[in-house]
Amino acid sequence: MRCVLLLCLVTLIAALEMPPGGEVALAPNATWIGNAPVVAVAGQAFSKAHRVVSTQQGLFYQVQHGTPLSVAVRKGDVVAVSFWARCEAVEDETGMGLAHVYLQRNGEPWNKPLLQSVPLPATWTQFAVAGKSDDNYGPGEMALMFGLGTSRQTVQIADVQVLNYADRIALKDLPINRPSYPGRGADAAWRAPAAERIRSLRMAPLEVEVVDVTGVPVANVPVAIVQTRHAFPFGSAFTARHLTGDSDNAAIYRAKAVELFNAGTLENGLKWGAWDNQWGTEHFGRDKALAALRWCQDNNLAMRGHVFVWPSKRHLPNAVKAALAAGDAAAVRAACDAHIDDLAAATKGLLHEWDVVNEPYSNHDIMDLCGPEVMLDWFARAREHLPGVALALNDYGILTAHKDDEHQAHFETTLRYLLDNGAPIDVIGMQGHFGGSPTGPERILAVLDRFAALGLKIRITEFDIDTGDEELQADFTRDFLTAVFSHEAVIGVQFWGFWSGAHWRKRAALYDQDWNERPNGRAYRELVHDSWNTTATLTTDAQGRVKIEGFMGAYTVTAGDKVVPMTLSAASPVLRVVLPQ
């Protein structure tokens, strides 16, 4: 078992004063959401605080304390938040509370241009965070929020200030808490063991013997070894619209897809409403989805299906929503069965893996009506149609939690229920949507260890990191990929999109709107296509041989004028190249 050291993710600042020039963005008589009582404070420069109690351990936004901003905020404005806080009580061995501090649109779609998690000690401490606005907001349209629902905790918050500096100051010049993560340092203890595991798990000896037509070894022959494809799946979510479109951007999108990745999934095209043409036929529908999947097959992209059943009324077609609302369990079951039958038959041969159920922790309306055993039926039905396809349970919030929580416990309980009841499940699908204070690599490895103990393989299904700190974003992209690539249970990782023109979180993309590579894109390319890619030119020895260690996957080996393809695996024999006369 690995030892995980929990560190503060921010630097604590005492007696901080924000620079002049900011417009006060909170009205003195602001109405706070959440109705937290005001309590007296002694021994501080302030005399009152809001006292917020969370009685659950779940998602941060399920317990909120906040207020709308009283001023307009324009796109690109630098907005700074300072506050004092202390954790009065918490059910956690570290004794630290946890607040998520965020600026968000005060209404759907709840954009969050700033989201940072802040560990809270027992003593009064001052914090400062800042971000750039992603859009134009009128007075009251942006809100400052404190999300406290991750722990059973009692927190006091005081002396909150929000200042809009517009373009009068740069983020780097503000005395803010810089978000980071444990294990970021170049000398972090986890790095050397991870590198050794990568060498052991992902590499193999590659040996080439060059002989003439009589079988005699030939010395001093130049041998070029070039890896052309990874055995390990590095993928992305793709949009059917851009895989099948005829625009200039669609052409670039397709080229980048095959240049960067060897695997993927359709972001939305196989979801029930899209498949049934209820999302409009311009970008969705079965014809577009199938055309996109065939293009992926033709271009050697190993594709997984997402998703057979997303069991919340929010994600169901209208007729199924109506049956669910009416409490008609038989009709809901029949509709799910027919949908699995249809989708499996139509896509058979195009996909190597399927998410059978998605996000059961937050999306459980069908299970509430039909019982958890309905999931067993879905897995069994999928296996009946797709005997050679891996089947997965997929959920979010597993890798992104800084500590064990109810969501992780629910995920493990659900997986054990499926296994104990004979469900044909092969893969644990873990999403990985991170924000500005991501989980450290040692913690990620510990979570992977926990779930690997169930005896299933793990795939990272939806990775991105959404933050305005591009240096942090690039470093974490490198370290997250390194950690998961080093874990023996992980069989693949995929981004949830790569271009900001087709990404649910635009600033998380590897390429901006104009196809400029962003720092996280460079980190991905340098790691996967350079550091983890084997290319070498060697000369045969007296026995006509060359030997190296290479990353497993597809290669071309050129000896003299002879070009030979090969696949390197842990059990690969010596490749013999016979030179022509």
- Give the helix/strand (H/E) hosting 561: none
**pTM of the entire predicted model:** 0.79
If we measure between CA atoms, which residue out of 168, 176, 69 comes closest to residue 468? 176
pLDDT at residue number 95 = 58
Does domain 255-265+298-521 match CATH 3.20.20.80? Answer: yes
> What is the Cα–Cα distance from 10 to 174, expressed in whole angstroms?
14
> What is the Cα–Cα distance from 231 to 492, expressed in whole angstroms?
10
> What is the Cα–Cα distance from 555 to 156, expressed in whole angstroms?
60
pLDDT at residue number 327 = 97
For the chain, the structural domain boundaries read 23-173, 255-265+298-521
Query: CB–CB of 499/253 below 8 Å?
Result: yes
Helix (H, G, I), strand (E, B) or coil at 535: strand
Q: Look at the block and give the residue holding tokens 């560990």.
A: 119
> What is the Cα–Cα distance from 67 to 344, expressed in whole angstroms?
48
Query: Please, where are the H alpha helices in 57-108?
Result: none
Query: CB–CB of 56/38 below 8 Å?
Result: no
> What is the Cα–Cα distance from 338 to 207, expressed in whole angstroms?
52
Decide if 23-173 and 255-265+298-521 have a common fold: no
Question: Quick one: tokens of 444?
Answer: 């990620």
Helix (H, G, I), strand (E, B) or coil at 223: strand
Residues 6+ apart with CB under 8 A from 546: 207, 208, 210, 223, 225, 538, 539, 540
DSSP character at residue 269: T
If we measure between CA atoms, which residue out of 490, 510, 368, 520 comes closest to residue 427? 490
Contacts 24+ apart (CB under 8 A), 93-99: 94/6, 94/403, 95/121, 95/122, 96/6, 96/8, 96/120, 96/121, 97/121, 97/148, 97/151, 97/153, 97/155, 98/60, 98/148, 98/150, 98/151, 98/153, 98/402, 99/146, 99/147, 99/148, 99/155, 99/157
**CATH code for the part of the protein at 23-173:** 2.60.120.260
> What is the Cα–Cα distance from 182 to 163, expressed in whole angstroms?
29
Angle at which helices 373-385 and 406-420 cross, to 10°: 60
Query: CB–CB of 574/209 below 8 Å?
Result: yes
Single-letter residue type at 532: W
* Structural Rg of the chain based on CA atoms: 27
Q: What is the mean pLDDT of the chain?
A: 92
Per-10-residue mean pLDDT of the chain, 581 residues long, equals 29 61 90 89 94 89 93 94 91 70 91 85 86 93 93 94 92 77 94 98 98 96 98 98 96 98 97 91 89 98 98 94 97 98 98 98 96 98 97 94 85 98 98 86 97 98 90 97 98 98 94 98 98 98 98 97 96 95 78
pLDDT at residue number 7 = 26
CB atoms within 10 A of CB 282: 8
Question: Quick one: tokens of 255?
Answer: 């080229």
pLDDT in tens, 368-418: 999 999 999 999 999 999 999 999 999 998 998 877 788 999 999 999 999
> What is the Cα–Cα distance from 114 to 99, expressed in whole angstroms?
13
pLDDT at residue number 5 = 24
Angle at which helices 441-452 and 470-485 cross, to 10°: 30
Q: Which neighbouring-strand residues pair with 265? A: 237, 304
DSSP assignment of 97-152, as one string?
A: EEEEEEEEESSTT---SEEEEEEE-SS-EEEEEEEE-SS-B-TTSEEEEEE-TTSS
If we measure between CA atoms, which residue out of 245, 346, 339, 347 comes closest to residue 305? 347
pLDDT at residue number 212 = 96
For residues 190-206, b (16+ Cβ closer than 10 Å) or e, as one string?
bbeebeebbeebbbbeb
DSSP character at residue 475: H
Question: Quick one: tokens of 437?
Answer: 């204070």
Question: Quick one: tokens of 196?
Answer: 């050794």
> What is the Cα–Cα distance from 240 to 275, expressed in whole angstroms?
12
pLDDT in tens, 409-434: 999 999 999 999 999 999 999 999 98
Q: Which neighbouring-strand residues pair with 68? A: 143
Q: What values do phi and psi take at 437, rounded to 5? A: -125, 75
- Torsion over CA of 162, 163, 166 and 172, rounded to 10 degrees? -90
- Give the helix/strand (H/E) hosting 84: strand 78-90
- Give the helix/strand (H/E) hosting 333: helix 329-347
